[in-house]
A and B are shown apart, each in its own frame.
Chain A
């Protein structure tokens, strides 16, 4: 008995348990074939998003008018005049524009989630930790945001601010990031709150409080790390929604400004020529589909890996 009680603190001092959780989760993730496909595609998407301009044979705005004229005036089919996927009616290389679209989608994927975390985590943490009236007020507030028809609110924000400096920043993307983020932090806030409420009652938190650890430290050092699994899953599964929202906005002509090429705006442009040159719609559509499905697979896999109890549930 005496030897055990002296040995325990030494072992507990090392962060073995949390390392175990993560390697455990990674092991489960590795066995999940769909999740690995998702992970691979996400990596590919990230790579093209980051290094797209280096891979692109042309600039997304370069107009190869000479080849278009030689080709008869309309959009060029794939492989014509050295354009791998053809061009649009202005002679802009579709492959290069798809790469720019990847860049936009990747930035949407990550910046929007950053906005969501910056709003959702503090609100959820405050509500969950302090409880009582503050909790009530914050949760009613999230209820209101939840009831907002989100796509409409995103459109409203983007259109209303489009002529202002804020609306033009980053080729019109900044307002899109903020607008999508402002409507979708509720899930994360509720999740953080729920996690905190459950963890607040655990013994290790009670112990931390007993030895006088400050509230702030308990939240940041004990509660958030322990409750982070579901948050990671929610963030990953939130990414397809953000990408979808951005491409929908771009499709109806809101958001990113030309000549930047969002996948949504590529589809809107290609739609005019869809009878003769269906590839102008099909390739961006495939790009969107691959992006959406890869994050969905990865998110599902992460959820199964991080919380085996939830397996198969949404």
Chain B
């Protein structure tokens, strides 16, 4: 188990290395640079800036410069926000992004799993239809559409929740729901299928025939076994929450890190773009490892070699 965890954690390093190489190459493979402004800077100024930031060096040297700084935790200066370090930009926005992601994740689990369980217990009755309808709506509504609709109804029409900032719980509700909508649907669908599968198992029939109360069969035999496979979709769910959050941040004007991603590509803010990509790649890779290890931990039948 320990060697499995170690191997999986160490595997993140080559992944991040590959991500950085690919992003770096892509970023530099097209014309344009961080000094392209509406008013063109004089060539002399541009070359002075390039020399100052090391952009006049060959690409491999630039990569080595970047990588050796990155390893020590230095993300470099921002080319666009020239008075700021990328470390500061990330440090400013990251807590908000993580906060949004964690709340959406909790909401997705706390609503999705009970919804799936209720659907399976009331199979082909109204709880099932209700839950299935919620899943269908959730799966077929992109998060940006859900975000717009929530703003229109609950913020503009009803005036219940303010949007556009991140100052207190009333600002948190709508973005969290918008981000969690799709994961809720996926988790509910998966939980329902898994519960229905478990219902047909021999040990459930045995438990019933031993005369165990229905509630304890459900809670001790069915739910505990049915939730094991649900853990496997938590990986993709977390990946969705990480990459999906910046669309939500954009719609709700939330001051997280997501807003910088697209801008940094447009403005060729190389260091900021590298930092953002590495951050998201690390989050996705790391959360996947956590989920896989969790899966091995809670299901003793799984053996990893």
Contact = CB atoms under 8 A, between A and B. Distances in A.
Nearest to A270: B148
A313 B193 CA distance: 6
B141 interface: yes
Nearest first, the 3 A-B pairs at minimum CB distance are A289-B140, A149-B280, A293-B140
21 contacts: A143-B11, A143-B15, A147-B288, A149-B242, A149-B243, A149-B280, A151-B243, A151-B244, A152-B243, A156-B265, A163-B30, A164-B30, A248-B142, A251-B142, A264-B144, A271-B148, A285-B141, A289-B141, A289-B145, A293-B140, A296-B139
Given A271-B148, A296-B140, A312-B197, A149 B277 contact: yes
Nearest to A164: B30
Interface string B253-268: 0000000011001100
B197 A247 contact: no
Interface in B1-46: 11-12, 14-15, 18-19, 23, 26-27, 29-32
Contacts of A267: 144-145, 148
A208 B197 CA distance: 38
Nearest to B151: A274
Chief secondary structure at chain B's binding surface: helix
Interface in B108-125: none
Nearest to A291: B140
B107 interface: no
Given A160-B265, A251-B144, A285-B141, A149 B14 contact: no
Contacts of B11: 143
Contacts of B144: 248, 251, 264, 267
A44 B297 CA distance: 47
Interface in B258-285: 261-262, 265-266, 273, 276-277, 280-281, 283-285
Give the dominant DSSP class at A's interface. Answer: helix
B152 A275 contact: yes
A314 B189 contact: yes
Interface in B133-151: 136-137, 139-142, 144-145, 148-149
B204 to A, nearest CB: 16
Contacts of B276: 152
A152 B141 contact: no
B196 interface: yes
Chain B: interface size category: 35 or more
Contacts of A248: 142, 144, 247
Interface of A: 140, 143-144, 147-152, 155-157, 159-161, 163-164, 240, 244, 247-248, 251-252, 254, 264, 267, 271, 274-275, 278, 281, 285, 288-290, 292-293, 296, 312-314
A156 B189 CA distance: 32
A292 B30 contact: no
A155 B26 contact: no
Contacts of B29: 160
Nearest to A293: B140
Contacts of A285: 141, 145, 148-149
B233 interface: yes
A264 B147 CA distance: 13
B273 to A, nearest CB: 8
A147 B149 contact: no
Contact of A160 (B15, B26, B139, B189): B26
A150 B243 contact: yes
A240 B138 CA distance: 13
B172 interface: no
A185 to B, nearest CB: 15
